[in-house]
């Protein structure tokens, strides 16, 4: 009778005591192996404390190993390392160009902006006088072509920035799938920032030659540094709120 009670008690302990599912433990081991392989392949220094914990199967030791390896592989993360492992998997019969859709899409987008830039620049509607008029005095097809011209320059700027950023992320092992969402939003922010700088915040209004050069450069800068432009505008809004805020 006592044996039966003990058996039932043991079954209850076994079924209810674990707080972490076997799947999480298996994922933890997979991330440890991925980080260890990444560190060895890239010549990173591995903490010596890991040596005595690698053969252990206890949860505490696995968490300690995971934490130590996470510090060793920085700025890469377990998620980014596993993503790069999937990309570089030998079983995938694809070229490097097709393995990373983000890079492919950015290259195609840069080519699109380049074609639009050349096409609008060849139009007689895009010239010094039409750009000098701006959005307030210009209208019709001329205004549309001039705005398209400036948007294409902004797009080239943001595409240049993102391609460089993606290249650095791949080299450092920090690329993750969620970057595609961030980069998509940044493309639109870059185009908007280029229009804001080139049309709304215009520094020169007298010389059409200087204005043409200035608007093109401002559109390029706006696209390249869209995140910085957003931070500046956000800080200005914060300061305005502070001016009109009522102290408690």
pLDDT tens readout for residues 143-182: 889 889 999 999 999 999 999 999 888 888 888 888 888 8
Tell me: do 100 and 213 sit in the same domain: yes
Rounded to 5 degrees, φ, ψ at 44 are -85, 150
**What confidence score (pLDDT) does residue 154 get?**
92
CA distance 30 to 69: 12
Q: Are residues 64 and 114 in the same domain?
A: no
Structural domain of 193: 96-244
Q: Report the C-alpha gap between 160 and 172 in whole angstroms.
A: 19
> Does residue 227 have a pLDDT over 50?
yes
Does residue 118 fall inside a structural domain? yes
- Predicted local confidence at residue 228, as pLDDT: 78
In the predicted model, is pLDDT for residue 190 greater than 50? yes
Residue 161 lies in a domain: yes
200 located within any domain: yes
122 and 210 part of one domain: yes
The answer to whether residues 101 and 68 belong to one domain is no
pLDDT digits (tens, 9 = 90+) for 5-27: 333 333 433 333 356 667 777 88
84 within a domain of the structure (yes/no): no
pLDDT computed for residue 94 by the predictor: 60
**Together in a domain, 200 and 100:** yes
Into how many domains does the chain fold?
A: 2
């Amino acid at each position: 009778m006592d044996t039966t009670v003990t058996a039932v008690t043991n079954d209850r302990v076994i079924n209810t005591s674990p707080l972490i599912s076997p799947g999480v433990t298996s994922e933890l081991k997979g991330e440890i192996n991925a980080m260890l392989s990444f560190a060895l392949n890239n010549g990173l220094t591995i903490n010596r404390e890991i040596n005595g914990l690698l053969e252990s199967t206890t949860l505490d030791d696995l968490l300690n190993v995971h934490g130590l390896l996470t510090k060793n592989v920085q700025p890469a993360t377990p998620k980014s390392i596993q993503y790069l492992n999937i990309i570089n998997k030998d079983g995938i019969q694809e070229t490097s160009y097709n393995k990373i859709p983000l890079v492919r899409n950015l290259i195609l987008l840069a080519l699109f902006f380049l074609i639009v830039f050349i096409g609008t620049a060849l139009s007689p509607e895009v010239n010094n006088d039409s750009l000098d008029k701006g959005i307030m005095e210009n209208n019709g097809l001329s205004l549309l072509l001039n705005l398209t011209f400036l948007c294409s320059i902004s797009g080239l700027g943001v595409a240049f920035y993102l391609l460089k950023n993606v290249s650095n992320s791949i080299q450092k092992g920090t690329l993750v799938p969620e970057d595609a969402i961030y980069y998509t939003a940044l493309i639109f922010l870059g185009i908007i920032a280029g229009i804001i700088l080139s049309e709304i915040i215009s520094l020169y209004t007298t010389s059409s030659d200087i204005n043409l050069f200035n608007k093109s450069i401002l559109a390029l800068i706006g696209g390249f540094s869209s995140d910085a432009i957003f931070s500046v505008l956000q800080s200005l809004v914060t300061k305005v709120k502070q001016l009109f805020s009522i102290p408690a």
